[in-house]
Amino acid sequence: MKRVDDFRLQLGKHELVPIMIGGMGVDISTADLALEAARLGGVGHISDAMIKTVTDRRYQTKFVKEKLALYKSSVATDDKTAVKFDLGKIEEATRLHVAHAMERKTGSGMIFVNCMEKLTMNAPRETLRVRMRAALDAGIDGITLAAGLHLGSFGLIEDHPRFRDAKLGIIVSSVRALQIFLKKSARTNRLPDYVVVEGPLAGGHLGFGMDWAQYDLATIVVEVLKYLKDENLSIPVIPAGGIFTGSDAVGFLESGASAVQVATRFTVARECGLPANVQQYYFTANEDDIVVNEISPTGYPMRMIKSSPAIGDGIRPNCEAYGYLLDANGKCAYVTAYNREVEAHPGARKVKVMDKTCLCTHMRNFDLWTCGQLTYRLRDTTHRLADGGYQLLSAEHVFKDYQFSTDNQIALPERQEA
């Protein structure tokens, strides 16, 4: 019986354990988590989502305070067009985060950065360009293009000295999205080094509509593999979404995938950025506690735990401090929804906003508990402790369980208390 360790992911001259820990925004996939994946010979992701907030928390910078001070006057207005990011500061923050991770890297694996196009930051092209270039400057091993079609993204870095040596990949949820990306990027004369095919059971934002349940990862992977074969393109395909055991992964590897991308099982690892009390909500979630809804202002459906404090919360938008979802015209669907509720309830001290959420603030505060569909199985991956809580895992334990387990088994960690 095969196990994941019988396979290897070849990326250029690099031979890797075919396990990639997916990017989880706003420092849920921390540098510590990514470093463990690299140490163990796989691929880990950091994320550049809300990078200034992350560096403020980790490296005592003051980016958020500075931005808020600069734009304080527009807090009370609806018009956020003037609330711009200072490109030099984004560059500085990205370099800091990436360099700090890369300096500490050990092992034969790699560290990539997850770069979401939907973080439009009131100047989509300019900010994305700086984010990617700063990550390359700071020595990141690769960039995974996420949450968007990224039709112009290769073009934004094609003149960078590392454009051909860094590993560049894209996440797609359909063969069609891949076709369009390849067509639009052909001009740069460079293929992606890998394609992550993310199915409907993944965490975070989904590349499907609210009819997500009608899609199936295995079917999309077969379509992508066939398309690449027909086109004579040799690009590693990496399925993601609902791959919960080593045996699930082997199934994909045996049918032509080159690696798997996984995330949910690592949300309850000690190295993960979620606060320990929030991790207990992940352990205790039942299947019907997990919903896909449309409250993300990005316009993509998003999966989360129903009891997330973010749902329905009508806090005042915080674009002056954050503003990562302001579109090219300075608009965010949450700001519009919030203003509508304030207008409808004059004099109310606090409003409820059910249809959208202030994603920046709530992701920053770990109040929006996005998760994969199989989160309800996490409790089966560990021990229940005497105090009723669940024992956190080490990233190494989870990684090795994927790497070496067979027969759909999940190895439990060593028990930490009697």
Ligand X SMILES: Cc1cc2nc3c(=O)[nH]c(=O)nc-3n(C[C@H](O)[C@H](O)[C@H](O)COP(=O)(O)O)c2cc1C
Which residues of the shown chain bind ligand X in the complex (CB under 6 A)? 22-25, 28, 47, 49, 114, 116, 146-147, 171, 198, 201-204, 240-243, 261-264, 267, 370-372, 374
Strands 312-314 vs 351-353: parallel, antiparallel or unpaired? antiparallel
Closer by beta carbon to ligand X, 185 or else 298:
298
CB of 116 vs ligand X, minimal distance in Å:
5
Closer by beta carbon to ligand X, 94 or else 114:
114
Sequence-ordered list of residues with C-beta below 8 angstroms from that of 210, at least 6 positions apart, any chain: 292, 294, 301
CA distances from 397 to 104, 271, 404 (A): 20, 11, 10
Closer by beta carbon to ligand X, 197 or else 351:
197
CB of 344 vs ligand X, minimal distance in Å:
32
Rounded Cα gap, residues 115 and 359, in angstroms: 17
CB of 73 vs ligand X, minimal distance in Å:
31
Decide if 325 contacts 263 (C-beta within 8 A): no
Buried-exposed string 243-272: b where 16+ CB fall within 10 A, e elsewhere: bbbbbbbbbbbeeebbbbbbbbbbbbbebb
CB of 82 vs ligand X, minimal distance in Å:
27
Closer by beta carbon to ligand X, 267 or else 314:
267
CB of 29 vs ligand X, minimal distance in Å:
7
Closer by beta carbon to ligand X, 116 or else 351:
116
Strands 110-116 vs 204-205: parallel, antiparallel or unpaired? unpaired
β-bridge partners, 19: 260
CB of 391 vs ligand X, minimal distance in Å:
19
One-letter amino acid identity for 401?
D
Closer by beta carbon to ligand X, 338 or else 399:
399
Closer by beta carbon to ligand X, 25 or else 236:
25
CB of 26 vs ligand X, minimal distance in Å:
7
Rounded Cα gap, residues 109 and 16, in angstroms: 6
Decide if 65 contacts 136 (C-beta within 8 A): no
One-letter amino acid identity for 5?
D
CB of 198 vs ligand X, minimal distance in Å:
5
Rounded Cα gap, residues 98 and 183, in angstroms: 30
Closer by beta carbon to ligand X, 203 or else 323:
203
CB of 352 vs ligand X, minimal distance in Å:
25
